[in-house]
Structure 1
Amino acid sequence: MLSILDIIEDTTVDGPGFRTSIYAAGCPNGCPGCHNPESWDINHGHWMTTDEIVQKVLADDFADVTFSGGDPMYQPEGFTKVARAIKEKSDKSIWCYTGYTFERLLRNPRQHQLLQYIDVLVDGRFEKELRDESLCFRGSRNQRLIDVPASLKKGEAVVYKYNPLPVA
């Protein structure tokens, strides 16, 4: 069971293209200036089974997936089950937003397990003084877009090169 604030289908703000975004309840970071402070309390969500979440995600053939929140890494076992099922049953990419850094997630076995199924990680706490609205898919300059498969292979963070323009 996962505490979920909401599941939004066909959003375009949490990664490239159309996405189904799953907003987790619960976040220990409490970043000043957070755009979603109601997500901090895990009890503000409603409880859903991993099967319910996976069925909702797979019902949209065209949308990729984003885990956001709150912080999905606050409920890593449940999100690992969801991510594993999505990857086993589809070719959807999965992006994940977290206030933790990639390096810290590597040191936590519970959170590291979820990384195995993530394509792009947006890591780092939101820093109000580093806010930059010109950045794609992140709120402050300290946050990174991490290519997780390449990073796991290399053993260190590899920046994901996002290019919104098609190659000519």
Structure 2
Amino acid sequence: MKIRLFGIANDSIVDGPGLRYTIFTQGCYHKCPGCHNPKSHDMNGGYLKDINEIIAEIDENQLLDGITLSGGEPMLQIEPLIEICKAVKYRGLNIVIYSGFMFEQIIKDSRMKSLLEVCDMLIDGKFEQDKKSLSLLYRGSTNQRLINIQKSLKYEKVIEYETNEYNEIII
């Protein structure tokens, strides 16, 4: 199975906790002004890559704490990402997903929810340039939330991660 990508970072330290393999999907309808990856918006841009190659690259990096799904909009390529996430979970890694959709929107769509169910942390909401802040952990604007997906699904309400004075997640 192939996935359309904007790019990959094999050693990110800014896209979630620890050392991460970040998958930047290609294609986004949100087109947020000030987007960090505006060239990822074109649905036909980027390049195709087999998901087995991605999984093999993840296996090669024994220092990874997890993977991050970013974009573009990951919710536009659900099937290949679910397969990657299942393989990553089997390997004991955690999964962060960024989405311009809100948690409340995602759980109303069974396909999008199925991707969310195999992930651990959601950074939700569109980037809003007037709310931009460089001091936020893993986020670009203050409207975006760090959501504990599994707890939120269990309790059927949004449960956000808290951060301490050092801008670290409190587990």
Q: TM-score range by the shorter chain?
A: over 0.9
Aligned to 1:65: 67
Out of 57, 77, 80, the position equivalent to 2:79 is 77
* Separation in structure 2 between the aligned mates of residue 154 and residue 107 of structure 1, nearest angstrom: 15
Q: In the TM superposition, what is the alpha-carbon distance from 1:166 to its structure 2 partner? A: 9.4
- Does the CA contact (< 8 Å) of 2:88 and 2:94 recur in 1? no
Q: In the TM superposition, what is the alpha-carbon distance from 1:87 to its structure 2 partner? A: 0.8
Letter of the 1:48 partner, please give it: K
Aligned to 2:159: 158
Percent identity, please: 38
Q: Does 1:136 align with 2:132?
A: no
Per-residue Cα deviation, 1:55-105 (whole angstroms, up to 9, x for no partner): 1112211212111111111111111111111112x1111101110001101
- Does the CA contact (< 8 Å) of 1:120 and 1:145 recur in 2? yes
Letter of the 2:136 partner, please give it: L
* Separation in structure 1 between the aligned mates of residue 168 and residue 136 of structure 2, nearest angstrom: 15
Q: How does 1:17-32 map to 2 (within 5 A)?
A: 17-32=18-33
Q: In the TM superposition, what is the alpha-carbon distance from 1:160 to its structure 2 partner? A: 1.6
Q: In the TM superposition, what is the alpha-carbon distance from 1:162 to its structure 2 partner? A: 4.0
* Separation in structure 1 between the aligned mates of residue 103 and residue 159 of structure 2, nearest angstrom: 10
| TM-score after normalising by structure 2 | 0.92
SS of the equivalent of 1:43 reads: coil
- Mark the CA change 1:115 to 1:48 in structure 2 (over 3 Å): closer, same or farther: same
- Does the CA contact (< 8 Å) of 1:28 and 1:74 recur in 2? no
Aligned to 1:120: 121
Aligned to 1:46: 47
* Separation in structure 2 between the aligned mates of residue 55 and residue 166 of structure 1, nearest angstrom: 29
Letter of the 2:116 partner, please give it: L
* Separation in structure 1 between the aligned mates of residue 138 and residue 68 of structure 2, nearest angstrom: 11
Q: Does 1:106 align with 2:107?
A: yes
SS of the equivalent of 2:18 reads: coil
* Separation in structure 1 between the aligned mates of residue 74 and residue 117 of structure 2, nearest angstrom: 14
Letter of the 2:126 partner, please give it: R
- Does the CA contact (< 8 Å) of 2:67 and 2:94 recur in 1? yes
Letter of the 1:146 partner, please give it: I
Q: In the TM superposition, what is the alpha-carbon distance from 1:42 to its structure 2 partner? A: 2.5
Aligned to 1:5: 6
* Separation in structure 1 between the aligned mates of residue 163 and residue 95 of structure 2, nearest angstrom: 15
Give unmatched runs, 5+ long, in structure 1. none
Q: In the TM superposition, what is the alpha-carbon distance from 1:161 to its structure 2 partner? A: 2.5
**Number of aligned pairs?**
166
* Separation in structure 1 between the aligned mates of residue 39 and residue 169 of structure 2, nearest angstrom: 37
| TM-score after normalising by structure 1 | 0.93
- Mark the CA change 1:146 to 1:166 in structure 2 (over 3 Å): closer, same or farther: closer
